[in-house]
Amino acid sequence: MSNRFGGRYSPGNPRPDPRRPLAPPRHPLEGRPKWITIAASPFLLGAFFQSPVGMATSLAAFGLVAAGMWLTREGLVAEAAYDARRTARRPAIPRKLFGGITAALGLALGAHEPGALAGAGLIGLAGLALHWLAFGPDPMRDKGMEGLDGFQQDRANRMIQEGQAHLDQMRDAIRRAGDRRLEARVAMFEATVQDLFEQVRQDPRDLSAARRYMGIYLMGARDATVKFADIAARTQDARARAAYEDFLNDLEKDFIARRDQLLEGDRSDLEIEISVLRERLAREGVRPAATDPEPPALQSQRAQVLDDLLGGFSPRPRDGKRD
């Protein structure tokens, strides 16, 4: 189905929405593994000009290098998501480490010759060291998880995964409508939902307040999107389109309001903690710096005279004579 072209100055085109969907995090080195796979292509091309044993060895070497680079790329994607979040668990599988070992085995196998096992092993170790220098290690520690309940965090992660599955189904369904503006509108709604997801990641205690939004509401949005996509693919009904856009606008406002309420609740909790701490400090006899008494007078005789001059020529009683 053809799509109607619409630009910034096209007639009938509405004013562009200043909001933009969040771009997925991307690691700056994510494109490197494919070039290493391409560099290993001589193993693949030369395999068909060798004996059966040599062909199998070369094909296995290329397959190991390609698999190692695929694992490395997945590790870079996981690292980018880890770096983009303020609170995150370390990846369950160190993909970059396993990718480096797999690629090193492929290099060693491709360089192996009868009687040269040590040389092939050295080439594999060199490849593993170069892989580590090029891509770095995997994240090995949790980030921003101090003081958070692990059980609550796991529940929040499962709920976020279910909500993300609903969003993915919404995105797939709206593509059937063949309307790029609506696809962009759904992407902006997804960005709003991701803000709520991030709030729950940072504080899993907010899960109880956001559970309905991350489950029932997103499920209803997915079902409505599927029904609208079926109608739009058959009839291109303008009223159905307007009703769907109004539905997305109202639902997005609800998600924004819930996110703001969670943020406001965190601020209120912080103010309560600060006030309680101040009361305890007051009971212990500790006062803030702003309420401290006036600092004592300067001890130096010359400094006292200068202090009198700066204080409006109101000399203080002193013992002794001036210099």
81-94: average pLDDT: 79
Domain of residue 217: give its range. Answer: 150-283
- Rg of the chain's alpha carbons, rounded to an integer? 32
Q: Is 200 exposed, middle or buried (0-12, 13-18, 19+ CB in 10 A)?
A: buried
Q: Which residues, including other chains, have CB under 8 Å from residue 164's CB and lie 6 or more apart?
A: 197
Comparing C-alpha atoms, which of 32, 48, 43 is closest to residue 65? 43
Question: What's the pLDDT at 130?
Answer: 93
Indicate if 172 and 255 belong to the same structural domain.
yes
- Among 135, 159, 178, where does a domain finish? 135
pLDDT tens for each residue of 104-153: 999 999 888 887 788 889 999 999 999 999 999 998 887 766 655 566 77
| Threshold 0.75, pTM exceeds | no
pLDDT tens for each residue of 170-199: 888 888 888 888 888 888 888 888 888 887
- Among 88, 105, 135, where does a domain finish? 135
Indicate if 269 and 165 belong to the same structural domain.
yes
Indicate if 53 and 119 belong to the same structural domain.
yes
* d(C-alpha 11, C-alpha 289), whole Å: 63
DSSP result, 206-245 = GHHHHHHIIIIIHHHHHHHHHHHHHHHHHT--HHHHHHHH
Domain count, the chain: 2
DSSP result, 67-129 = HHHHHHHHHHHHHHHHHH-SSBPPPSS-HHHHHHHHHHHHHHHHH--TT-HHHHHHHHHHHHH
Indicate if 87 and 189 belong to the same structural domain.
no
Residue 15 lies inside a defined structural domain of this protein:
no
